Chains A and B, each alone.
Chain A
Amino acid sequence: MRKLYVILSSVLLILSGCNMRVLDPKSQTAKGQSFLIQFSFALMMIVFTTVIVLFIWFVWKYRQTEENKHRIPEDEKGNRFFEITWTVLPIILLAVLAVPTIKITYEISASSSATPPNAVHIDVTAQQFSWTFEYQNGVVQTSELVIPKDRPVVFHLNSDDVIHSFWVPKLGGKMDVIPGKERRLIVTPDEIGTYQGKCAEFCGKEHSLMRFETIVKTQEDYKQWIQKMKRKTE
């Protein structure tokens, strides 16, 4: 019965396609990225449709049949007007795509280089094959990341061995974790919930199992949780 449910729900998922994790953003960063994905997809559908329509039309109309098989097509070298058209139009299309690309890429980087006030700082250590999260008050968690809603969270990413990559699809793009160099990532979650986190850079034998849970709590719950954990460690 449960299997049937899994199959049914996945068929529905294919049909809907909307609650894909990447397209269901829960932070400002991820919203910008999701917008870019959908915007570029829409632009590209124009190109794709044009090509497919021409393709089907030409292949159907000019195929060899019994009647025309002795015809020798007219010699045609090219056509300046057409060639200029399909050089200029894509350039315009790409210019339209380039503007938000540059804008949002800069925004995401800028927000990661500044340190906002009232931010939560978390030291993230990646090692084969687990994640360790250390809070400013000394609380250490493994494979479970708890963060408050509506407060910027600064991740200080460090690796103990090889390159890993920190990825919570619903909270935004990934950031490589490189040994010997600290990388920073800032996200501000704007919805409570539990989200999957993964290592995205192949890092060895059990790379597939290097996952963590991200739990976004309200600020009140987060305060209580961090105090409770603090008492535990003491």
Chain B
Amino acid sequence: MTFYLFDRSFYIASDVLLAYITVILSGAAIFYLITKADKWPTIKKYVTTTHHRKIGVLYLLSATLFFIRAGIEALIIRVQLAVPENDWWVFQGDKFNEAFTTHGTIMIFFVAMPLLIGLMNVAVPLQIGARDMAFPYMNAVSFWLFLAGAILVNMSFFMTASPNAGWTAYAPLSISTYTPEAGNDYYVFGLQVSGIGTILAAINMIVTIVRHRAPGMKLTRMPLFPWSTLITSFLILIAFPVLTIALYILMFDRMFGTQFFTGEAGSPIYWQHLFWIFGHPEVYIIILPAFGIFSDIISTFSKKRVFGYTSMVIAITIIGLLGFMVWVHHMFTVGLGPLVNTVFAITTMLIAVPTGIKIFNWLFTMRKGLIQLTTPMLFSLGFIPTFVVGGVTGVMLSVAAADMQYHDSYFVVAHFHYTMIGGTVLGAFAGIYYWFPKMFGIKLKETLGKWHFWLFVIGFHITFFPMHLAGLNGMPRRVYTYLPKDDVFIYNFVSTIGAFLMGLGTLAFIWNIYQSFKNPDYTGNDPWDGRTLEWAVPSPAPEHPFQPMPLVKTIDPLWEAKRNRGGKLPEAESARSAPIDVTSWQPIGLAGMMMVFSLAFIYHQTWLQIIAGIGVLSFFVIRNLTDEHVRVAREEENE
């Protein structure tokens, strides 16, 4: 729509205008509510904190916000595709392309990742008997850098320059020749900034798990969620730098006239290799932690230790290793030759073996157990059949010659939504319901939780099952319309109905959170009759848990203590000194400065690039010159 102001005409697309109005109104409402409830001190506490539980909560909160945004985009996509030759609102052509690009980018990088990293932050230190993450300050830096990147990508829409080359950003479409707008620059810098945060988070997790376990907590006694976190962190450490390099040279191609992906010496295939060498490990990065969550939950609510613990750990490791050897299965139609294609087809098939081992281990954990159908358990049970469907379509996709038919069709869309929603999202929901008491000391409502589960899962299958058939009937991915004679109308129509059911399920979840805080059900340390150490500390988890430090003698130490020691954990003689928690505005300041730095590049303002660059560097200098250990030592001397 066009409107006139000071004798000049301004044009703004109606969807952007609506988004502005919504954001400004809800922002004002939130501001008013916070002021009315006098919650600004709490906000300040959370912004300056370095405590792992609070940072985990921040991760989960921002992930939920982005989940709503990208979910609305999914509904927009489904409405536009509901009937053939649809002409709904503005979502055709570029607008539609922007919608599916940001839907994919945000769901992968700013929903799936932070949901899992948030749960890791909340649970992993407590599960291994650590008093905090190894580097609390760096943990805060990780979160704020992630948020800065996420805000950059989300901002692009409001600046009417969304990324529009798909979440895979294949060159040469993502080169400035074909997409000269600022959209894909936002993509590059948003992912780059949040990627730094993710790498730092992975380093932090590795050091925490390696160095800060309670006395007696050998690696072979560690619960499976920390195990999957450890493997995942190594995957992040190896895969994310590849993305960094890919984005870096894409940035050079877009901004500084290099020709890595075009011209005589360059090739667009380089981008695909780099992207998928990162991208395939990435999909295991977002599924392995979910596997860990399911292992712990299924074990807790079957009242049995996890079946085949050793093979579970080996399976996670093998999946992690194989994850680096399968990236070409995203490129079977590029024409790399039959040898390459068959080798990668075989390695891809092999992944089914460790995954199958895990599925059967979960089933046999439940066998002869005592299954309590609480909400977290429901989500874990919903995961098993759903993920098996995603797994078997994965094996079908690994057949190289057949993949030439599936590739880039709706069959693929169905497959990865089955694995990512059936695995990651259900896992994250299960984890949120399971550890909510540890975060806030209250339980989420069971009845609303069950509504959430059934609406979401039934809606999910209605949405994504027909997509397999639409793909087999020749519907390509990333199209905004189709013809009646394509015979895919019924599948798309059914999908759209299912998508709205999933939306209702998500609303039930949000309503559940609101209700649970309004009429809180306070719980004690151990609401689920848990098995691992996190249920031995008060809820919500305090700043200094584990006083006195427990001595771990077995797997599932709390369960063993409840059976044989009247619930008292054996105590350790000495404990590792806890990491020092500080309160600091520096992490959020650094992230803000990174954002300004990125914007200076996106809009080619050299003077601002220099100033912001010096600003970012100065944070490093300041941090190098401060050492809280010195301060703490001095305080101890003066006592």
Contacts and interface: CB of A to CB of B under 8 A. Distances in A.
Q: Do A and B come from one complex?
A: yes
Contacts of B361: 83
B472 A20 contact: yes
Given A10-B487, A86-B357, A51 B366 contact: no
A220 B486 CA distance: 29
Nearest to A61: B367
14 contacts: A13-B490, A14-B469, A14-B491, A20-B469, A33-B405, A40-B399, A59-B366, A62-B370, A83-B311, A90-B353, A98-B346, A102-B345, A161-B178, A173-B407
A183 B54 CA distance: 54
Interface in B252-284: 262-263, 267-269
A97 B395 contact: yes
B260 to A, nearest CB: 13
Given A33-B404, A58-B367, A176-B333, A40 B353 contact: no
Nearest to B393: A44
A196 B486 contact: yes
A7 interface: yes
A160 to B, nearest CB: 11
Contacts of A109: 337-338, 341
A52 B487 CA distance: 31
A218 interface: no
A73 B310 contact: no
Contact of B342 (A101, A179, A203): A101
Nearest to A183: B335
Greatest chain B CB density within 10 A among A17, A55, A71, A78 is at A78
A79 interface: yes
Contact of A62 (B165, B360, B366, B478): B366
Contact of A58 (B341, B363, B489): B363
Interface stretch (A146-154, A164-172, A225-233): A164-172
Interface string A4-29: 00110111011001001111000000
A121 interface: no
Interface residues of A, number: 91
Greatest chain A CB density within 10 A among B172, B334, B404 is at B404
A181 B476 CA distance: 23
B19 interface: no
A40 B478 contact: no
Q: Is the interface of B mostly helix, strand, loop or mixed?
A: helix
A91 B318 CA distance: 15
Contacts of A22: 405, 471-474
A172 B401 CA distance: 10
B342 A106 contact: yes
A145 interface: no
B18 to A, nearest CB: 22
Interface string A44-64: 110110011011001100111
B172 A204 contact: no
Interface in A88-109: 90-91, 94, 97-98, 101-102, 104-106, 108-109
B388 A82 contact: no
Contacts of B388: 47-48, 51-52
A141 B578 CA distance: 74
A110 B338 contact: yes
B392 A48 contact: yes
B480 interface: yes
A66 interface: no
Interface string A155-195: 00000011101010100111110111101000000000000
Given A14-B491, A83-B311, A108-B404, 8 more contacts: A22-B473, A54-B360, A77-B305, A94-B350, A106-B338, A165-B333, A178-B334, A202-B166
Nearest to B334: A176
B193 to A, nearest CB: 25
A27 to B, nearest CB: 12
B548 to A, nearest CB: 27
A75 B487 contact: no
Interface of A: 6-7, 9-11, 13-14, 17, 20-23, 30, 32-34, 36-37, 40-41, 44-45, 47-48, 51-52, 54-55, 58-59, 62-64, 68-69, 71-79, 82-83, 86-87, 90-91, 94, 97-98, 101-102, 104-106, 108-110, 128, 161-163, 165, 167, 169, 172-176, 178-181, 183, 196, 198-209
B400 interface: yes
B371 interface: yes
A205 to B, nearest CB: 5
Contacts of A172: 404-405
Interface string B299-338: 0001111011111000000000000000000000111011
B178 A20 contact: no
Contacts of A199: 476
Contacts of B476: 167, 198-200
B307 A76 contact: yes
Nearest to B392: A44
A148 to B, nearest CB: 23
Contact of B473 (A20, A30, A209): A20
B454 to A, nearest CB: 15
A67 to B, nearest CB: 11
Given A40-B402, A82-B360, A163-B170, A63 B396 contact: no
A94 B349 CA distance: 7
B367 A62 contact: yes
B364 A204 contact: no
B305 A176 contact: no
B604 interface: no
B409 interface: yes
A110 B490 CA distance: 38
A163 B173 contact: yes
Nearest to A8: B490
A34 B349 CA distance: 19
A36 B178 contact: no
B240 to A, nearest CB: 24
Given A97-B395, A183-B335, A203-B173, A63 B472 contact: no
Contacts of A203: 173
B408 interface: yes
Contact of A36 (B359, B401, B466): B401
A71 B370 contact: yes
A43 to B, nearest CB: 8
B29 to A, nearest CB: 37
A63 B341 contact: no
A72 B369 CA distance: 8
Contacts of B385: 51-52, 55
A104 B401 contact: yes
Shortest 4 CB-CB contacts between residues of A and residues of B: A173-B404, A10-B490, A44-B392, A208-B479
Contacts of A71: 370
Contact of A91 (B333, B353, B471): B353
Contacts of B537: none
A108 B284 CA distance: 31
B516 interface: no
